[in-house]
Each structure stands twice: as C-alpha cells, then as structure tokens.
Amino acid sequence: MKRSIKKFAAFVLALALAFQAAAFVSPYKAFADEVPVVISAPVSTNNAESEYTEESLEALGFSYYGGSSLIGYYGEEADLVVPSVPGVTYLSVSYGPDVKTLTIPEGIDDVYIGGLYNVEKIVLPSTIKWLEIDNCDKLVSLDLSSLNLNGCYLSYCSKLEDVKLNKSQNVKLTDLPALKSINIPSNTSQLTINGTSYDAVKIDPNNVSDYKIKNGGLYRTETTWDEDSRVKVLSGIDSSLSTINVESGTVIIDKLNISGHYYKVDTINLPSSVEKINAYAFYGASGLKNINLPKNVISLGAYAFSGSGIESITIPASVTYINGDCFADYDGKVSLAKNTGVLRSYKDGIYIEEEWWGEKEYKLVYYPSDKTTIEFLEGTGDIGEHVLKNCSLRELTLPEGLYSLYLDLSNAKSLTTLTLSSTVAYVNTYGFRYAPALMNIFVDENNASFTSVDGCLYDKDMTTLYLAPTTKEEIRIPEGVLSLGYYAVHNSYIGDEYDDPDNYKEICPTVYFPKSIENFEWYGFSFGKAYVYADTNLALYLDYMNSDIREWSDDDSMYLENRYDYELLDPAKDLLNSIYVIDTVTVKKGKKTTDATVNNGVITPDGVLAASKLIVGNNSECQVTYKSSNKKIAKVNKTTGEIKGVKKGTCTINVKCVINTGKKKYSKTFKIKVKVK
C-alpha cells in the first residue's frame, strides 16, 4: 500500500474516531513538570503464532479490515500494547487521549502515530522502516539510534527537544519549536526543515547529498540532468531570520517551503551564480517582499512566485524558459530588463517565444491582475493556465492563432464575457466552470469546432452542450442536443459565505432539457429545477434518484440526500403513452393476485397490477380503474386491481387510465389477458 493511501485512510479514520470520542484533550494544553520521553526499540518477542479475527481486534479497540494494515484505535488503555497480527506490516494509531505508553510488535515496518497527546513512551520494533509522528505533545526526547529507517517524519510535537538518528534516507521536520538537537545521518538524501530552528540541526559531514547549513540556508548538491557535474542547491532557509544572503556558487533555488506563519524572512539576496529557480521555490511566501533575479538566471519554474509578497520582479534577458504558471496568483509587478532573446514585453504582458513542430508562437506568462482590458501580442498561441486567474478583465477575446484553451478564471470577479477566436479547437471548461461573473460565452462565426447559443458553449454540430456560464439562472437546451459535458449545467456559489456574506450568492438554475438528450454523467450536473420529457434516459434517472429504492442500494449510499426537483414537459396524452401494463396474468381458481406495485410512473404488477391512482413521472396524477370482461371467470377489484379466479377459462381485464388537466380529460385503456387454471 502506498504511503499516501495509508495516510489518507488513517486520517479519515482518525477524524471519525475523534468525533466519536466522549472527551477531547487539547493539543495545546500545557503540561507541568515534564519528564523526558525516550523512544527505543523493544526486545524482540515471538508472537508469530498469534491469531486474531476482526471481531477480537475490535474487542481490543482496534479497527481491522483484513490485509496488511491495522488502522485506528478507539480504546481507553493507558499502556497500549499493539497485538501482533500475522501479515500486518502497517500500523496507524491516530487518536487516543488515554494512551501514555505505546508498544509496537516486531514485524511492523511502517508506523503512523498522530494525536496521542498524552503519550509518554513509545517502544518501536527493530523491523520499522518508515516512522511518522504527528501532534504528540508530551514527547520530549526520541532515541532512534538503533533503527535503520527509510523515512522519519516528525511534525507538530510542541515539546520535542532531542532526537537521535542513526540511519534515515528521508527526514522531514515540521513545526518543532522546542527542538534543541537532532543529528542528520550520513545516508540522508532528502532533508526538509519547516518552522524549526536551524541551530538545533547537526548534519554528518559525510552526508551523501552534501547537506550543509550556512548563514541560515540549507544547502545540498545534486547531479545535473546530463550527469556532467554536481551543483549547489538552496533547499531551505531558517524561519527565524529576516534576511538571507544566499551562498556564492549556488546554482539552483529549490522549493523552499516558506509559506508558514513562522517564517520571518522578507529579503533574499541571490548571488550571480544562480541559474534556475525551481517550481514552487517561493510559493506562498506572503512575507517575502524583496528578491533579485541575477543576470545569469535561465529558468523559472511553475508557481515559483505564486502567492508570494514580492513587490516587483525584473526578469533578466538571460532567461530562456518560463513556465506558464510561474506567476500564477502573483499580484506584484513583473517587467523585463529588455526585450531580447525569447522574451517579449507587450501592453503590460510578458511573453516567451516557443517553438512547436518548427513553428514559433508566443505564450503569455504574466499579466497584471489590476488591468481591466487586454491586447495580445501578435503571434500569441498560448496562455498560461493560471495567468488570468485573478484578473480584473471585464471582457476577454482570445487571440487568433490560439488552438487549445486551458484557463483558470475561478477568481476573475469582473469577467462577464468570454469570446473564442476562430482558431480555438479544444477547450477544457474545468477552469472557467466557476468563473464568478461569467454571463456569456461567444464564439467567432468562423470557428469550425464550436458555436454559441444564448451565451452557452456547444460543439459546432449542436450535439453537445459543453458549458452554461456560472450566472445563468435559466438554461434552455435546444432539441437535437444529445450529450451534456461534465458539469455543463451546475449550481454555483459566488462569493464567500463567511468572509463576505453580503455579496454571497447561490445560483441554482432552472434547466429545460430536450427529448434528444441521451448521454450525461450521472454525477455530472446539478440544478435548482429541471423540466424533462417522460420516457427519456434523463427522466428515468431523475426518478430513480428520487425513489425509495436507493435507501437500500449500497452503490448510491453517499448520494441519498440528493433529491432532484423536476417536472415533465410532456402533454397529458404523451404521458399516458409512458404507462406500461402487463399483457398476461395467470391465477388459480379460488385464489387472488397479491403484491401489486407501482414504480417510476409505470404500472408494473408483481402478480398483476396496482392501485387506483399513480403519479406519472413527477407531476401528473393518473386515475386508474379496473373492470373484468367476464366476472364468471375472473373478478377484479375496481380500485386495487386485485384479481380473483372464479372458474377455469380466459377473460380480459380492462385498465382505464385518466389524466385530468382541469381543462380536458385524456384517457387510455389497456387490456390484460387473464388465464384461470
């Protein structure tokens, strides 16, 4: 099982157990007279012969679903000894305010411990390879020197002061404010430090990745992509410092993880040796205000400046690559040192030249978020997916030459109109599905792939509705449309319900669906109210979703609260045609038919037929009466449809269905052949 899956499962179970618990111990509770905590490997015990069932483990307070994982503990033991279950190699103990000592058996190689706020001692097996400890506030000292770990992740342990490691390939330290000493082994190839003082970290001088701490920076070396040489990389900075002077000779700035509240850095000075700013380098660094890009920088990675507080950035002419999302969610100003090489500045936008199959085009990689209009550089063939996410544009007309459209407009609060140029041949609607002000999508009349009707986006043949804009409160889909794109129609929530309740708005559109609709994702739409035609796939689906049958259907258990408000567009005479009555029924002499049922607006007798009244579809009441052609052979209850065999023979039951619209009555009579044996 992958660690990410295990951690997710552990988290979900921990959350459930936490809500079930009768008492809660705050992770921030202060403890007096702390005693240092020692974690060590236990003496090996042989419990391989032990056998446990799911029931016996539950009786001990554990959740076990078979396989190799033991996940969750909800008991009340202060001294918790985890049972040795053959085949179990992964353990997650995610909640247990009563646990003070925890003993884990041999054979377990992967352990997650979280939320044991009062644990004072943990005994680990010699077999352990992966260890993660999270939110254990009484731990003071960890002695892991006898263990050979692949990974050691320690986070949010507010009292942890001392950690001893022998071997661990991966080490991650997050928010350990009390840490005074930790030794990083020679075999550690991946080291991450967040919200933890660098003064506490001692690194083995023979470390395989040459990790070193100098002047508040965490450095390592890595081999270049062509394996030609090893270069110095800045991979972290001390959260307690306000200014970082990066070491001369540093070539790469890696993801620095400086988005936490504990980072005080506001200025980073880069040396002339820096050539690459990697993806997410300064991501979320809202406190960072000043940085320089040296004249030798050649590459800027994805989201490198996203969410950072840097006030202005000047891109040197040496840059030959900028990822399209480098400046996503960046509200500062970007300029070029000069238009040269592959970079262009035009009408406040920054572009980079790209070549595809021998043809050159320009990609927009930055545009100021405060500009209300935009004019594209001639030859623009691409736009970074998140470049316009926070834009203030009121209208956006895409440039000629743009072929594929991937745009995130989810925070474009002023954008009301989007126009596709004639060359757009592919659109990923996900990114502007929730554009908060979008009212209309228009398409150039010469576009060969798309068209627009009532501001909604369709394919050129009008067989697929791709998207109705967020603000549409009424959507009328024309006849002939066969398919709905994923969330082509959907409820929208505009604004922030909690931060800005006065401007928060929920839009649940009324949608008129044509008879022609055949294809749709069963979870891919939402609306306030729908109008559909009976005897269509959509009507049958909506009726099923509203029916009681789902109450015992495991497949739909997570959607039981979803009920669709819909009505039928069919005239009464068409609704009568949607009714089905069984052709033939057999009954024994002197016996009656039983268990008649009505389902989905269709008379479907389980034995023969049903009641005197039914709802056809979702909104039309149909009166039903029954009459026998020969009472000497079979009698029928005129209101319930119950048939009694009188003597052997054959006769007919006439089933009359009447819909009264108030202005006119519509009726249809069905015939059932009855055989009495």
**Which of these three, 175, 208, 241, is where a domain ends?**
208
- Does residue 215 form part of some domain? no
Question: 555-613 pLDDT, tens per residue?
Answer: 544 444 567 888 888 888 777 876 767 778 888 899 887 544 333 334 444 333 455 66
Q: What letter does residue 540 receive in the DSSP assignment?
A: H
Q: What angle do CA 206, 207, 209 make, to 5 degrees?
A: 135
Q: What is the CA 329 to chain-centroid distance, rounded? A: 20
**Which of the listed ranges 17-31, 224-238, 358-372, 523-537 does the model predict with the highest average pLDDT?**
358-372
Which pLDDT score is estimated for 16? 41
- Does residue 492 form part of some domain? no
- Does residue 277 form part of some domain? no
Which of 56, 45, 131, 51 is CA-nearest to residue 88? Answer: 51
- SS3 percent helix, strand, coil of the chain, rounded to 5, is 10, 35, 55
Query: Tell me, what amino acid is at 577?
Result: N
Question: 275-302 pLDDT, tens per residue?
Answer: 999 999 999 999 999 999 999 999 999 9
Distance CA 232, CA 215 (A): 15
Contacts of 56 (CB under 8 A, 6+ apart): none
pLDDT confidence tier of residue 619, bands split at 50, 70 and 90: low
582: alpha, beta or left? (left if phi > 0; alpha if psi -120 to 50): beta
Phi, psi of 588 (to 5 degrees): -80, 150
CB 398 within 8 A of CB 405: yes
pTM score of the predicted model: 0.75
CB 483 within 8 A of CB 518: yes
CB 559 within 8 A of CB 550: yes
CB 269 within 8 A of CB 237: no
Q: Which residues, in sequence order, are bridge partners of residue 165? A: 144
CB 73 within 8 A of CB 107: no
CATH for 655 = 2.60.40
**How is residue 263 written in tokens?**
């980072």
Least confident range from 76-90, 425-439, 449-463, 659-673: namely 659-673
Structural domains counted in the chain: 2
Least confident range from 74-88, 123-137, 384-398, 564-578: namely 564-578
pLDDT above 60 for 6: no
Distance CA 271, CA 275 (A): 10
The residue with greater pLDDT, 497 or 650, is 650
* Mean pLDDT of the chain, nearest integer: 85
Q: Is 665 exposed, middle or buried (0-12, 13-18, 19+ CB in 10 A)?
A: exposed
> What is the rounded average pLDDT of the residues 363-392?
95
Q: How many CA atoms lie within 13 A of 221 on its CB side?
A: 10
- Does residue 233 form part of some domain? no
**Which of these three, 208, 227, 244, is where a domain ends?**
208
Which pLDDT score is estimated for 224? 80
- Does residue 631 form part of some domain? yes
Q: What letter does residue 376 receive in the DSSP assignment?
A: P
- Does residue 593 form part of some domain? yes
- Does residue 652 form part of some domain? yes
- Give me the sign of the Cα torsion angle 221, 223, 229, 233: negative
Distance CA 535, CA 422 (A): 39
CB 265 within 8 A of CB 246: no
Q: What letter does residue 589 receive in the DSSP assignment?
A: B
- Give me the sign of the Cα torsion angle 486, 488, 490, 493: positive
> What is the rounded average pLDDT of the residues 413-423?
96
Which pLDDT score is estimated for 584? 81
Which of 629, 655, 628, 624 is CA-nearest to residue 643? Answer: 628
CB 363 within 8 A of CB 383: yes
**How is residue 86 written in tokens?**
């053959």
> What is the rounded average pLDDT of the residues 165-188?
95
Which pLDDT score is estimated for 29? 27
Q: What is the CA 491 to chain-centroid distance, rounded? A: 17
Q: Which residues, in sequence order, are bridge partners of residue 531? A: 512, 567
**Which of the listed ranges 474-483, 488-497, 558-567 does the model predict with the highest average pLDDT?**
474-483
Which pLDDT score is estimated for 616? 66
- Does residue 428 form part of some domain? no
Distance CA 174, CA 196 (A): 6
**Which of these three, 152, 185, 208, is where a domain ends?**
208
First to last CA, the chain: 62
Beta strands across the sheet bearing 665-676: 584-587, 665-676, 649-660, 620-628, 613-616
pLDDT above 80 for 211: yes
The boundaries of the domain holding residue 20 are 1-208
